[in-house]
């Protein structure tokens, strides 16, 4: 019995036994017409190791993907802006990552119903090690 308790204690103290504990601030979803929108937030990593997000899901969308807004300047035609998908988001140890308009964001596609101002949207972050963390984001105009 003591051996089992010892193993359980060792696992609970090991990095494999710890759940991710990102602090999430100011999570919001933009109110837009149509079936696509974006979510923004600040992710704060209090841990001593980097945290890598490899996916996101939501019950209100067919898919959620990681994106960044990129700018290019074609010859003589002015600046053009587009979106580029990302494979993952990395939050450095004791660091933060800001998801904001015009930068990194979560793209919610195939919305299953129209969003309403003030509505709470559940998002589930999936980490590289398979762990998940749920959060709620509030629908707002900006």
Q: List, in order of start, the domains of the chain with CATH numbers.
A: 20-140 (2.60.40.1890)
Q: What is the CA radius of gyration of the chain?
A: 18
Segment 75-87, tens digit of pLDDT: 556 666 789 999 9
How far is the C-alpha of 11 from the C-alpha of 4, rounded, in Å? 11
What are the C-alpha distances in Å from 50 to residues 20, 67, 94, 99, 100?
Answer: 10, 20, 8, 17, 20
In this prediction, residue 9 carries a pLDDT of 44
Give the pLDDT band of residue 16 (cuts 50, 70, 90).
very low
Please determine, for residue 74, whether its predicted confidence score (pLDDT) is greater than 70.
no
Model pTM?
Answer: 0.81
Q: What is the DSSP string of 100-127?
A: -TTSEEEEEEEESS---TT-EEEEEEEE
Segment 88-105, tens digit of pLDDT: 999 999 999 999 999 999
CB burial string 80-119: b at 16+ within 10 A, e below: eeeeeeeeebebeeeeebebeeeebbbbbeebeeebeeeb
In this prediction, residue 142 carries a pLDDT of 82
């Amino acid at each position: 019995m003591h051996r089992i308790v010892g193993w359980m204690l060792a696992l609970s103290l090991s990095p494999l036994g710890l759940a991710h504990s990102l602090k999430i601030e100011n999570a919001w979803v933009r109110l837009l017409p149509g079936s696509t929108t974006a979510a923004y937030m600040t992710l704060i990593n209090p841990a001593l190791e980097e945290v890598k997000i490899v996916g996101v899901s939501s019950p209100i969308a067919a898919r959620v993907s990681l994106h960044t807004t990129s700018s290019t300047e074609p010859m003589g035609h002015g600046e053009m802006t587009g979106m580029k998908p990302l494979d993952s988001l990395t939050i450095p140890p004791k660091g933060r990552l800001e998801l904001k308009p015009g930068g990194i964001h979560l793209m919610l596609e195939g919305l299953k119903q129209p969003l309403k101002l003030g509505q709470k949207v559940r998002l589930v972050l999936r980490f590289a090690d398979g762990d998940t963390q749920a959060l709620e984001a509030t629908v707002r105009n900006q």
